[in-house]
Amino acid sequence: MAKKAALAAALLVAVASATTSDDEECSQHVQGREFRSCQRYLQDPRSRFVDDCCEELRGMERHQCGCEAIRHAVQQAQQGGSSEHIYERARALPRTCGLTHQQCRFNVVFLYTSHSS
């Protein structure tokens, strides 16, 4: 039971980094954007927002900042609760959306919080 509680309390942190553009420049391009469709797509496994999400990401691709946009969307999605499916979907987004000009690298860190009984 304690193991399940620890897993339920796990915080998933996914980091995407672009290999083709400057991270600081991309941070400026995504700052203040909401990526609502991507957030909804990442949070809900039954979501139908993938096309809208891809459209949001393609808008960032012209600045070669699709990976940074995905990272930002993951952070927004995690505010509604963390889950492994967020990372799995985020990892597939470059291929799903045809972001061919970039390679995204994702690192996942699970942070566990302890609960006192």
Q: What is the number of structural domains in the chain?
A: 1
pLDDT of 18 above 90 = no
pTM of the model: 0.71
In this structure, of 5-19, 23-37, 96-110, the range with the lowest mean pLDDT score is: 5-19
pLDDT tens digits, one per residue of 49-84: 999 999 999 888 777 888 899 999 998 888 876 677
Residue 32 resides in a domain: yes
* Structural domain boundaries enclosing 47: 2-111
CATH no. for residue 102?
1.10.110.10
Distance between CA atoms of residues 41 and 81, nearest Å = 14
Number of other CB atoms surrounding residue 16 within 10 Å: 22
